[in-house]
């Protein structure tokens, strides 16, 4: 399959995007949707032969994934984050698909590298074993959700051999900053949906999240990196519900 557009949503990703762009060179089109970068992200994208669409994402990732799909030249779209890369095996699997493929999309397996270690368990286990919907036919579905958006496929789906390699927030400071930012977006999404929370959820959800990812999903087998990852993701769960409580029960700034 040659008629594929790779779409990368980016903002100030000069330290990451080169790896993503290089792995996507097989595609008929690379489209970088830039959210006001002030570094060399746009320059690097254009140097790699990518088209650049400047658009403010306004923290609504589902909406802008749909907008980006409409701007693409091809019906088959592969979404790649700036801190990710496609392995050669996955590229071969994609190129082996028939042009007349009738599926609505494909799940692509992703493996996460953090603190210089590949994580095999815990929070990342589902993406590593089942995969995430990233290769889609834009005529047979749409993205839903503001943050942690999902692709609702209208038709059958499949999976491919190979991996997306993911290199998220490589320092603790970056991880904490990301947890804070995304917990705010998620809390606002729940607030707009009319959902609320209470002290029980604020206390129990983070605890259960940690127990699930660290023990049931065997995050402890990933050593210190697995513990810190599980702890910070449970902290994310705490922040979502604490901020949601602030929005629904208290007056004042909702930021």
pLDDT at position 48 over 70:
yes
Which residue segments constitute the domains of the chain, with CATH numbers given? 4-166 (3.90.550.10), 172-249 (no CATH)
- Give residue 147's pLDDT: 82
The pair of three-digit structure tokens given for residue 65, joined into one six-digit string:
């994934």
- Give residue 116's pLDDT: 87
- On whether the CB atoms of residues 93 and 85 are closer than 8 A, the answer is no
Range from 28-42, 218-232, 240-254 carrying the lowest mean pLDDT? 240-254
DSSP 23: H
The model's pLDDT over 208-220, given as tens digits with 9 standing for 90+, comes to: 999 999 999 999 9
Q: What is the mean pLDDT of the chain?
A: 93
Q: What's the rounded Cα separation, in Å, for the pair 78 and 27?
A: 9
- pLDDT level of residue 56 (50, 70, 90 thresholds): confident
- Give residue 58's pLDDT: 79
- Give residue 154's pLDDT: 95
- Give residue 252's pLDDT: 46
- Give residue 253's pLDDT: 47
Q: Kindly state the average pLDDT of the residues 91-106.
A: 95
Sequence-separated (6 or more) residues with CB below 8 Å from residue 172: 228
CA 60 from centre of chain: 13
Q: What's the rounded Cα separation, in Å, for the pair 45 and 6?
A: 12
- In percent, the amount of the chain with pLDDT more than 70 equals 98
The model's pLDDT over 144-202, given as tens digits with 9 standing for 90+, comes to: 988 888 999 999 999 999 999 999 988 999 999 999 999 999 999 999 889 999 999 99
- On whether the CB atoms of residues 79 and 53 are closer than 8 A, the answer is no
Q: Kindly state the average pLDDT of the residues 101-105.
A: 95
Q: Kindly state the average pLDDT of the residues 82-92.
A: 97
Q: Which among 101, 30, 18 is positioned nearest to 68, based on CA atoms?
A: 30
Q: Kindly state the average pLDDT of the residues 225-252.
A: 91
- Give residue 104's pLDDT: 97
- pLDDT level of residue 27 (50, 70, 90 thresholds): very high
- pLDDT level of residue 111 (50, 70, 90 thresholds): very high
Q: Kindly state the average pLDDT of the residues 13-38.
A: 96
| Four-residue CA torsion sign, 229, 235, 239, 240 | positive
| Four-residue CA torsion sign, 165, 170, 175, 181 | negative
């Amino acid at each position: 399959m040659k008629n594929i557009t790779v779409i990368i949503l980016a903002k100030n990703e000069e330290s990451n995007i080169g790896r993503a762009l290089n792995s996507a060179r097989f595609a008929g089109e690379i489209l970088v949707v830039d959210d006001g970068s002030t570094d060399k992200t746009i320059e690097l994208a254009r140097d790699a032969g990518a088209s650049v669409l400047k658009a403010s994402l306004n923290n609504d990732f589902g909406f802008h994934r749909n907008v980006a799909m409409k701007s693409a030249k091809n019906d088959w779209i592969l979404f790649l984050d700036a801190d990710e890369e496609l392995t050669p095996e996955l590229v071969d699997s994609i190129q082996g698909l028939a042009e007349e493929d009738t599926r609505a999309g494909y799940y692509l397996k992703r493996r996460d590298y953090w603190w210089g270690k590949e994580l095999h368990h815990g929070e990342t286990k589902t993406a590593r074993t089942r995969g995430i919907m990233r290769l889609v036919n834009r005529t047979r579905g749409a993205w839903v959700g503001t943050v942690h958006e999902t692709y609702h496929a209208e038709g059958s789906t499949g999976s491919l051999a190979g991996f997306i390699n993911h290199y998220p927030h490589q320092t603790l400071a970056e991880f904490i900053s990301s947890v804070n930012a995304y917990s705010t977006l998620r809390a606002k999404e729940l607030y707009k949906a009319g959902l609320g929370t209470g002290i029980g959820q604020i206390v129990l959800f983070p605890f259960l999240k940690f127990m699930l990812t660290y023990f049931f999903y065997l995050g402890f087998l990933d050593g210190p990196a697995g513990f810190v990852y599980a702890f910070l993701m449970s902290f994310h769960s705490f922040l979502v519900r604490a901020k949601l409580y602030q929005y629904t029960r208290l007056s004042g700034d909702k930021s």
